[in-house]
A and B are shown apart, each in its own frame.
Chain A
Amino acid sequence: MALRTLLTRKTLTAPPLGVRGLQTFSLPDLSYDYGDLEPAISAEIMQLHHHKHHQTYITNYNKALEQLDGAITKGDASTVVKLQSAIKFNGGGHVNHSIFWQNLAPVRQGGGEPPKGSLGWAVDNHFGSLEALIQKMNAEGAALQGSGWVWLGLDKEFKRLVVETTPNQDPLVTKGPNLVPLLGIDVWEHAYYLQYKNVRPDYLKNIWKVINWKYASEIYDRECP
């Protein structure tokens, strides 16, 4: 349900329907231009990341969904099972990146401004300070082997903030069914390599200048009214 909300926020108009009304997906627009996050993230990276990488996840996700639909209709259980990894990879990639674009904002739209209100209070309460949270997320993001994400999440059940990492394109929910993503930072090399090369810690240090805490606060307030 949260996913549909995210998708219809932007310019996703009438989604194409398959024979049985299978909903497929298309690339959500950004609410800023590719160059608007400079110098923290270069325009070149933003364009490749959004227009190529995210688009490819969507294309392959749609393909996998159509194949899954066919296999379900035919009762082909082994194909249904075989498709699960493609769905997890590509569907996860779509889910994660759709959140990511909203986690970022140009400075003139509030990017980098610290969280206020109840989320700001919760960050100080759980981590001591915003700086401590940033340090923790950066350390975990830097230490992640291979590809993945570092998240600030909300445990809905315990009303508690958590920092987690997930490998590859696994969404945060794979770490716990009650976890809601507030902020995700992509640490796949494609997210920073052209600009920061091997120095992932520099990317992590700089991305906070364009983190959109307003979006995170909205999600938090919705889950913890």
Chain B
Amino acid sequence: MAASAAAAIASPSRCGLFSSQGFSGSTRSLQWRKSEKRNVRKAVRGVITAKIELSPPPYSLDALEPHMSRETFEYHWGKHHRAYVDNLNKQIVGTELDTKTLEEIIRATYNNGDLLPPFNNAAQVWNHDFFWESMKPGGGGKPSGELLELINRDFGSFEAFVSEFKAAGATQFGSGWAWLVYKANRLDVGNAVNPRPSDEDKKLIVVKSPNAINPLVWDYSPLLTVDVWEHAYYLDFQNRRPDYISTFMEKLVSWDAVSSRLEAASARALEREREEEKKRTEYEGGDETNSEAVEMYLESDADESEAD
């Protein structure tokens, strides 16, 4: 059903795209439909574009030499990243996804693991933006301040963290990513109430993910990533992925970026806690609310025969 709705949008590249993606008939919870409010997106001489853009890395393409070559950037950013952006825009133009932010598109098309076609492109756009910003010229060295404290607390030592991060990258079989994330332990079960949170719940952990998957879909806050798709390192390192990851850690990581992401993640977690605290007090407080609930239950028992 979604396939025919999408195919109704007259565009040859669009139809071709779907057939090559093997869009099967399985049920899709996300409805794709043309926005009723506007029929034309930023039309310029008949060229319709959606709004996701290719951002350049925050440094020139040769700035990370000799550790990551200009040639790698010309392909990795100039071809791979650009293609993810272009293909995503082609997929979402004229659909309700077109009005959403990149992160919203990722969460929507993740579709609880039953990936919709735009997911791969959307997630890879985000992943690569995040990856360029995880590096800087003259990077490497050690983190400091709160970040280093948390690393020491959650991994035992900086060296232990590096070892675990490298192992994750080396053992992510096939294509994928290794991540340092900030994980707030939250129950995410509808009406259930979280046990009272403490600082211990908010941990730094290392995770790895295949292909385009990223920790946003697990509701973690990513702090650092390394791309271990072969295209990320093959021109510079060929099959030597462990050497590439070591070079990344020793010469390229921007600990400044990681620290400011940690700050943002902590602030977000605090904000969520406050909201949950509010919800918890609302739930616990007020006898009326409780007894109403009890009464409703009793009544519905008696009213069985009156169904519909």
Contact = CB atoms under 8 A, between A and B. Distances in A.
Interface of A: 48, 52-53, 56, 85, 89, 139, 142-143, 145-148, 167-169, 188-190, 193-194, 197-198
Contacts of A197: 75, 79
B211 to A, nearest CB: 4
A151 to B, nearest CB: 15
Contact of B174 (A53, A142, A167, A198): A167
A56 B239 contact: yes
A211 to B, nearest CB: 22
Contact of B230 (A145, A167, A190): A190
Given A189-B229, A198-B80, A168 B239 contact: no
Contacts of B231: 189, 193, 198
Interface string B221-237: 00000000111001100
A155 B235 CA distance: 39
A53 B239 contact: yes
B75 A52 contact: no
Given A189-B231, A198-B79, 7 more contacts: A48-B239, A53-B239, A89-B173, A169-B174, A189-B175, A189-B234, A190-B234
B174 A168 contact: yes
A19 to B, nearest CB: 28
Contact of A143 (B20, B212, B229): B20
Which 3 A-B residue pairs are closest in the complex by CB-CB distance? Answer: A189-B230, A146-B175, A146-B211
Contact of A193 (B173, B174, B235): B235
B83 A52 contact: no
Interface of B: 20-22, 75, 79-80, 83, 120, 173-176, 210-212, 229-231, 234-235, 238-239
Contact of B120 (A145, A189, A190): A145
Nearest to A191: B230
Contacts of A145: 120, 211-212
Contacts of B175: 146-147, 189
A115 B173 CA distance: 35
A198 B239 CA distance: 17
Nearest to A188: B230
A90 to B, nearest CB: 9
Nearest to B175: A146
A147 B83 CA distance: 17
A203 B175 CA distance: 19
A194 B234 contact: yes
Nearest to B20: A143
A190 B239 contact: yes
Contacts of A189: 175, 229-231, 234
Contacts of A194: 234-235, 238
A107 to B, nearest CB: 27
A142 B20 contact: yes
B230 A193 contact: yes
A85 B208 CA distance: 15
Contacts of A89: 173
Contact of B238 (A52, A147, A198): A52
Contacts of B83: 198
B174 to A, nearest CB: 4
B234 A193 contact: yes
B47 to A, nearest CB: 24
Contacts of B239: 48, 52-53, 56, 190
Contacts of B21: 143
Contacts of A147: 174-175, 230
A146 B212 CA distance: 8
Contacts of B229: 146, 189
Which one of A53, A194, A198 has the greatest number of beta carbons of chain B within 10 Å?
A: A198
